[in-house]
């Protein structure tokens, strides 16, 4: 939902940063959830209120659970 003008540059910066983090750590991150994400008025920024990163089993120290 969008209500009024928002800080588009801050939203783009955040999306690019999250995308870069995910790309840089693609071997370690299994899933990433950011919800909700709030964009403030132009010039006031944007931020995540909550985020969850699920690591791959190896990065959680659970390699033994992957053995067949």
Which helix (H) or strand (E) element contains residue 53? strand 51-55
Three-class SS state of 8: helix
Closest CA to 46 of 21, 10, 15: 10
User: Would you state the pLDDT for residue 11?
Assistant: 96
Three-class SS state of 10: helix
Answer whether residue 1 shows pLDDT above 60: yes
pTM of the model: 0.75
The answer to whether the CB of 39 falls within 8 A of the CB of 7 is yes
User: Would you state the pLDDT for residue 2?
Assistant: 66
User: Would you state the pLDDT for residue 68?
Assistant: 46
pLDDT tens sequence across 10-47: 999 999 999 999 999 999 999 999 999 999 999 999 99
Cα–Cα distance for residue pair 5/16, rounded to 1 Å = 20
Query: What domains, with CATH codes, occur in the chain?
Result: 8-66 (3.30.470.20)
């Amino acid at each position: 939902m969008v209500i009024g003008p928002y800080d588009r540059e801050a939203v783009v910066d955040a999306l690019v940063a999250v995308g870069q983090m995910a790309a840089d750590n693609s071997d370690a991150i299994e899933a990433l959830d950011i919800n909700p994400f709030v964009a403030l008025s132009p010039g006031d920024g944007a931020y995540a209120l909550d985020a969850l990163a699920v690591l791959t089993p190896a990065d959680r120290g659970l390699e033994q659970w992957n053995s067949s």
